[in-house]
Amino acid sequence: MKLPFLRNHLRLFAIGILLIALTDQALAQTGLPLPRFVSLKASEVNLRTGPGVRYPIQWKLVYRHMPVEIIAEFENWRKIREWQGDIGWVHKSMLSGQRWVIIRKRDQTLRRNAKSDAPAIARIEKKVIGKLKKCDARWCKIDFSGFSGWMRHKQIWGVYPRETVK
């Protein structure tokens, strides 16, 4: 007896969730998807507690080309998450659409081909930043200061699982 009543409530709940998701997506004033990865343009960028210069600086990010994830937008300000999980606001002029990645955990092996048994080219240390060239669903081609090769998505920070980049 209660089944039709329950179905209607579940439908309304699902519609509500969909509208919230669409509203969150619409908040991206640039029309670009949220979240998305970008990189820092400068070698020193202020990470602020809010979207404006009147908000205090909580961190100074000091790695040029460091990948960051934009998670919200407000006028000329972008709320970002950096590779260690800290969140704050930066001015959009400090960001670039170029894709870079960073080695987040221990040293990682850079391979000649997109295969687990491919010959190693180099061992790349934690915190090293590389330019992202392309990705398929599992592997990314990256240039680390002249060493160009392949790593799996899970070895780096700056791409989403199964993301393809051309």
Domains 32-98 and 102-155 equal at CATH topology level? yes
Statement: residue 20 has pLDDT above 70: no
Strands 95-96 and 57-61: unpaired
102/131 Cα distance (integer angstroms): 9
Statement: residue 68 has pLDDT above 60: yes
Which CATH fold would you assign to the domain 32-98? Answer: SH3 type barrels. (2.30.30)
List the chain domain ranges: 1-29, 32-98, 102-155
Statement: residue 72 has pLDDT above 70: yes
128/144 Cα distance (integer angstroms): 8
Which CATH fold would you assign to the domain 102-155? Answer: SH3 type barrels. (2.30.30)
Calculate what percentage of the chain has a pLDDT beyond 70: 83
**What's the full length of the chain, in residues?**
166
117/139 Cα distance (integer angstroms): 13
**How distant, in Å, are the alpha carbons of 81, 107, 111, 148 from that of 61?**
11, 22, 30, 26
Give the model's pLDDT for residue 23: 42
Statement: residue 22 has pLDDT above 80: no
Per the CB < 8 A criterion, the answer to whether 58 and 64 are in contact is no
109/117 Cα distance (integer angstroms): 11
Query: Given pLDDT bands bounded at 50, 70 and 90, which one contains residue 3?
Result: low
pTM passes above 0.75 = yes
pLDDT, tens digit (0-9, with 9 covering 90-100), for 100-151: 999 998 999 999 999 999 999 999 999 999 999 999 999 999 999 989 999 9
